[in-house]
Amino acid sequence: MVAFRTTKRIGALAVPLAAATLLTACVPGSSQGKAAGEASAGPVVTDPAKMGKVQLQVLDYFTGGVDVAWMNGVVAAFEKKYPNITIKRTSQPWDDVMKSLPLKLKAADPPDIVPANNGWQSLGTLVQGGLVLNLDNYANAYGWKKTVPASILREHEFSGDGKQMGTGSVFGTPVARASLIEVYYDRALLNRIGASVPRTFADFEGDLAKAKTAGITPLSMGNLEQVGVTGPLFSAMDALGPQNAISDFIYSHNQVKLDQTGFPQAIAKVKDWAGKGYFTKDFAAVPGQDAAQAFVDGKALFRFDYSGSLPLKKGQSKGFGSFLLPHADGGHPVATASSATNFSISSKSKHADAAAAFMNFAASPEAAQIAVDNQTMPLLADTKAPGGDPLFTDDVAVAAQVTSNDASVPYLDWATPTLLTTIQTQVQDLLANKTSADDVVSKTQADYDKFSKSLAK
């Protein structure tokens, strides 16, 4: 996925091409001799008490802040509940993990659990190389297809040959923490224009116009790094297009064209917002973090951003709130969302049952509550936020809305390994009046078609 989350995850560009080359050179199959993508044979053990003394090697990229606090809390709770299983964590920066993950999994003694990122250049290539375990037996044993919303679990599915995403077998699991694009708002500025939280898409656009008239910047955006525009673009697509069509396009089933997803309408809408002066002045030259800070400093009404990304100091959150952009057709809002990390099991792991038990726990309501206790957005459970922080209360409600309505779509840039770059450059040219909306759509579709043909080989 794109953009700046507290966990610094990036979607389609997660693993460099050099790593992908390494994967194509490896021999499919695990140490047990199974073919790539094949599930383990026989029953699995789901009672940790019957697994004996086990030490699990876990690799993650939780190196600071609430990420470490949540992960430490989950590990401590799991080990207390199952004292025969201990967790040995190795934490490295995001970039380091992604660059080294293929080699780590090819080693003689790889970690049992790894954070194989969603998308083609990470989880997809690991599946193709037979480096991660098919989890279908565990999904059945733990009932993940009932406890995890289909739109979230689908993000971890691949065909056994790794050529289709969003279908087939389960190769990873989410954790009970959300990361999604939402709309933040300044409570004082919303009150100044005499408005309330928008209930319809038309209300939202009406508030943009009111803010502009009142001399308030309607939408905070900095696009110097070319990533700032993805928040409003993806959210507009989610509000203007059908949820199923967006997902099917991203998963490269080649049955849905880009013009069926709401993308053309979203491109036109973003262009319209820019033309009306709704974005931060000179946004193309403004760094994303500067725009975020300006929003926190009260200089804009709304900001599209990733959960937990505002640079708030202690006590500042009371002045802000969050919501999902309402769907234009009046249905429930749809969010571009995933879990804050996802875990897979090495195909060479000698402790797959214990690894699956830990992953199941990390996706449990108890793990979601640990997220809430650490003031970070939960997922997969109906949790209650503590009082005193209205922004966090909103965030918890947004996460519950996504979970209960099964209302998420994957990140658009997951559709191909190069789509993020294509979208960023094309939209930048569009907003600089160097290209047309139709050209943006056609070049994005061309990128998708090229990748789809490569998958068919």
44-99 pLDDT, tens digit each: 999 999 999 999 999 999 999 999 999 999 999 999 999 999 999 999 999 999 99
Residue 209 has pLDDT above 60, yes or no: yes
Return all residues near 456 (Cβ < 8 A) that are at least 6 apart.
163
Alpha-carbon distance of 97 to 94, in angstroms, equals: 5
**pLDDT tens, position by position, 267-311:** 999 999 999 999 999 999 999 999 999 999 999 999 999 999 999
Ordered DSSP codes for 160-219:
TTS--BSSSEE--EE-SBEEEEEEEEEHHHHHHTT--S-SSHHHHHHHHHHHHHTT--SB
pLDDT band (50, 70, 90) for residue 22: very low
According to DSSP, residue 233 is labeled H
pLDDT on residue 118: 86
Alpha-carbon distance of 322 to 314, in angstroms, equals: 17
Greatest alpha-carbon pair distance for the chain in Å reads: 68
**pLDDT tens, position by position, 385-403:** 988 899 999 999 999 999 9
Query: What's phi and psi for 406, nearest 5 deg?
Result: 50, 50
The pLDDT of 204-212, averaged and rounded, is: 98
**pLDDT tens, position by position, 134-191:** 999 999 999 999 999 999 999 999 988 888 899 999 999 999 999 999 999 999 999 9
The pLDDT of 210-229, averaged and rounded, is: 97
Cβ contact 407:332 at 8 Å:
yes
What residue ranges define each of the domains in the chain, with the CATH number in brackets?
17-177+340-383 (3.40.190.10), 179-337+410-455 (3.40.190.10)
Ordered DSSP codes for 250-308:
HTT-SSS-GGGTTHHHHHHHHHHHHHTT-BPTTGGGS-HHHHHHHHHTT--SEEEEETT
Q: Tell me which long-range contacts 392-398 makes (C-beta under 8 A, separation of at least 24).
A: 392/317, 394/321, 394/322, 394/323, 395/182, 395/307, 395/308, 395/322, 396/372, 398/180, 398/182, 398/307, 398/322, 398/323, 398/324, 398/335
How distant, in Å, are the alpha carbons of 254, 305, 438 from that of 444?
14, 23, 10
Measured in residues, the chain has a length of 457
pLDDT > 70 in the chain, percent: 91
Alpha-carbon distance of 104 to 99, in angstroms, equals: 10
Return all residues near 450 (Cβ < 8 A) that are at least 6 apart.
416
**pLDDT tens, position by position, 369-389:** 999 999 999 999 989 898 889
pLDDT on residue 421: 95
pTM, rounded to two decimals: 0.88
Residue 40 has pLDDT above 70, yes or no: no
Structural tokens at position 155: 């993000």
End-to-end CA gap in the chain: 25
Alpha-carbon distance of 71 to 309, in angstroms, equals: 18
